[in-house]
A and B are shown apart, each in its own frame.
Chain A
Amino acid sequence: MELNQLTAHELIDKLKDKQANASAVLDAIYSRIEKVEPSVKAYVRVNDVKKPVCNPQPDSLLKGLPITIKDNICTEGINTECCSKILQGFRPPYDATVINKLKKSGAEIFPLKANMDEFAFGSSTENSRYGATHNPWDLESVPGGSSGGSAASVAADEAIWALGSDTGGSIRQPASFCGVVGLKPTYGRVSRYGLIAFASSLDQIGPITRDVRDSSILSQVIFGYDPNDSTSVKQDVPDFSKSLTNDIRGLKVGIPGEYFVEGMDAEVKTIIEEAINKLNSLGAVSQKVSLPHTEYAVPVYYIIATAEASSNLARFDGVQYGWRAKSDNLIEMYKKTRGEGFGDEAKRRIILGTFALSHGYYDAYYLRALKVRTLIKQDFDAVFKDFDCIVTPTSPTPAFKIGEKTQDPLKMYLSDIYTISVNLAGIPAISIPCGFTKKGLPVGLQIMARPFDEAMLFRVAHTFEQNTDWHKSNPKL
């Protein structure tokens, strides 16, 4: 095995025992990028960055371990453009809180940023100004999105691990499509300071890793209250290594009926059912439950998320940073800059959100959506009274073909149907590999837990992983 194929925890051990050194890890990743990046395209602005070298890092847990960062998380001195023309050339003068924490832990911030749908608007990483990322398992297919670059880089061994962001499934769905582990933490668990906002009440940063142990290690580093983010929560972070017990005997697992309905791929259904059987065979007790407001999740999400986005994206006006169109007066500058700077999906969502907040429509759309959001959250509260976790598919289908859904935004929006409720409810969820379709595409199992109970996710996911081999498969590139 090459160094770039190892998990982070394996590398931590190797680096500690001096069986490898940090620059060799970096070299291995870079050689891999040179080899597969032309077909995968997980990274952006590749030619702008020289071959990376190790920076002096503090002696700490992650010393010398490189990590790949999604293009919407601010990295001091490294371009952060949300894969949008409007942020062309934007080099933040500050690090996001998560980047600060990683640096303090000794991690090496990889200077190439991961591709994504523009401003995280999408489920396929096709809405990037830099073009689509390709799924390492099938180069004709999408890697999922919006954190498609992060997930593909880990799956293609172009990264040890990566950070993504998840507003409606943007970590879990690409993790599922790419056969890796993706965690969406509880809202408020990870500081959003330095994450370029899509929808502030839904966004969370989270890890994309090769296995559950890596996910728990990265979570341990990036979780925690941040005084710079009013929405981060003062809540103790437990020692997650203690959750990796390989024991789920007696745990009560809810299986929501609303997640197993028409539109679901038959192969995916079978694979998920087998995974549930596996959990039962390991001592868990699964039982059907109901989340009755599930059908409203997609419409509610597209009102709240676009409303917030329309306001969050107002600041991109060409005045201070990023792209500014040539123009003779102020109004023309606004119009041209935004007209040229934003892609189609960004424009679509800004228009949708502006409409939802407009006078006379606010009550009918935004306010009503907030109320239904509360009902969705109450659905989960009710189930979690009796159940330790909920298990569902991460996505109704495996990875779809590039271009397949680009002409039909509604179809595209429905690919997040199983992940969106989690963001609306603010609860944590993880996606782990649980099988492959006959064509060899990975399928992900989603596990959800109570707010701030990521430990439960690690426990269940790790136990499943210890007793299956899905996470060990690698795409042939």
Chain B
Amino acid sequence: MKYQTVIGLEVHLQLKTKTKAFCGCAIDFGREPNSSVCPVCLGFPGSLPVYNKEALNYAIKVALALGCQVQEHTKFDRKNYFYPDLPKNYQISQYDLPLSRYGFLDITADGKPKRIGITRVHLEEDAGKLIHETEASLVDFNRAGIPLLEIVSEPDLNSAQEAFDYLTRLKTIIEYLDVSDCDMEKGSLRCDANISLRPEGIKELGVKTELKNMNSFKGVKDALNFEAGRQAELLESGRAMEQDTRLWDAQKNITVSMRTKEGAKDYRYFPDPDLTVFIIGQEMISGIKDSLPELPGLKLRRFVEEYSLSEYDAGILVSYKKDAEFAEECLKQYPGKDKKNMANWLIGPLLSEANTRNLSLHQLGVNIDELTSLIGFVQRQELSHLNAKSVLTQMLDSGRSAQEIIKERNLLQISDTAELEQVIIAVIRENEKSVNDLKNGKANALMFLVGQVMKKSSGKANPKIVQELIKRRIDNA
């Protein structure tokens, strides 16, 4: 039987506000355990939470960027459960009146655009971190109370690849907003996935499993692929699927059952009486809306229109905000009419330089004038493309100018016909067979002869001019 995979993702995002969600403790990773804590985030008796407006602001930014409807009234609820990393044994979260609902994120599925629904975006507080030792378990509460944004998608994703694309695009948007580090390995972005299979054409959802413990986007993709396979096998064999929470084991590349759910856990949600209803006025919403940066989707459209780039090229250039800003600066300053020349350089040689250096584009430290000058040499056919790339590497290594390097290495192409004629005469003399072939109409022979001239001139000859000169000479012979 053919099955359709149904996936919904739940992303938790640590917001990088200056202070925690409900107290004044600084958010500062890498500090001594339990050094960024106070009576409030430790849940000491008598302490009370107070809203962090910055966290609400960040949350609304994300909600608006995801096209959500921001509720004018929002409240916080207590999610009650016992766990030692949870200082109050309840988490301040949002239940029936989340900050925002009904958003979407556009992805690409099989080369076609696809819209994924966002169920809700809400704000809550993070828990502490347990450190298990042989004798005892320790708790570090530095993380407790850090604002956490929960972004829940609709079960609109139909493959692991779509889930991967969703996460990549979500990350791009969050990075544009500059509200989170989005680092899965460091835990500032966490992702759980719900996945189920159903026979193709059937509307009803199958029995789902919840996947946890993935610590990279690739991990999410691998776990989903594995799980889809495992479920398909189970269904094929006719055995019953059990609702299950499973952990991804990245070493063994398998999912392992953590607990089967007999029923939904009862968190006894109720409105937190320590926090009053928060009213987000239209004014606040429109203020935040106005402050949003140009988001990647819109930037891509604009790059396509303003600089006549292909969608593919523009897509690459906008995927990181700072790179996009750098790219736009390059495109603007590029004097030539065809901006595609510059775009090709950015996506080609510059990006590959960035990759080998483990930097992103804007971190390469390229002087835009120098880059423009280098491209100018190629455009004027004074420098071969191959040599230009090696000049670029040298420019980045040494910080010297293109002109200087080209001069020093004597790389300027020979376009002086008199000088080239000397070489061509020699080559024709030495390759009688190829000359005859050419005369007999074998086009390949021309390329061979040009290659010989290039070789003799150590790559400096302008291949176009060489071709012209050889043709003229043979035709006139």
Contacts and interface: CB of A to CB of B under 8 A. Distances in A.
B48 A315 contact: no
Nearest to A82: B45
B306 to A, nearest CB: 48
A228 B82 contact: no
The contact size tier of chain A is 35 or more
Contacts of B84: 317, 319, 330
Contacts of B90: 311, 314
Contacts of A197: 45-46, 274
The SS class assigned to the A binding surface is loop
A230 B45 contact: no
A231 B274 contact: yes
B42 interface: yes
B264 A315 contact: no
B50 A228 contact: yes
A334 to B, nearest CB: 6
Nearest to B272: A200
Contacts of A366: 270
Given A193-B47, A196-B45, A315 B88 contact: yes
B82 A334 contact: yes
A93 interface: yes
Interface residues of B, number: 29
B139 interface: yes
Interface stretch (A121-129, A141-149, A286-294, A351-359): A351-359
Contacts of B80: 310-311, 314, 357
Nearest to B267: A359
Interface in B39-57: 39, 42-51
Given A319-B84, A330-B84, A359 B270 contact: no
A74 B46 contact: yes
A320 B275 CA distance: 24
B78 interface: yes
Contacts of B51: 230
B261 to A, nearest CB: 14
B74 to A, nearest CB: 14
A314 B88 contact: yes
A72 to B, nearest CB: 8
Nearest to B79: A311
Contact of B89 (A94, A199, A315, A358): A315
Contacts of B43: 315, 320
B112 interface: no
Contacts of A310: 80, 268
A460 to B, nearest CB: 30
Given A231-B273, A314-B80, A317-B82, A359 B266 contact: yes
Contacts of A307: 270
A130 interface: no
Nearest to B141: A320
Interface of A: 73-74, 80, 82, 87, 90, 92-94, 96, 192-197, 199-201, 227-231, 307-308, 310-311, 314-317, 319-321, 330, 334, 354, 357-359, 362, 366
22 contacts: A74-B45, A92-B39, A92-B46, A93-B44, A193-B47, A194-B46, A197-B46, A199-B273, A200-B273, A201-B273, A230-B50, A230-B275, A308-B270, A310-B80, A310-B268, A314-B82, A314-B90, A315-B45, A317-B89, A319-B84, A319-B139, A362-B268
8 smallest A-B Cβ distances: which pairs?
A314-B89, A200-B273, A201-B273, A357-B268, A196-B45, A194-B46, A74-B46, A359-B266
Interface of B: 39, 42-51, 78, 80, 82, 84, 87-90, 139, 264, 266, 268-270, 273-276
Given A92-B45, A231-B276, 12 more contacts: A87-B45, A96-B46, A199-B273, A229-B48, A230-B49, A314-B80, A314-B88, A315-B43, A315-B88, A316-B45, A357-B269, A358-B268
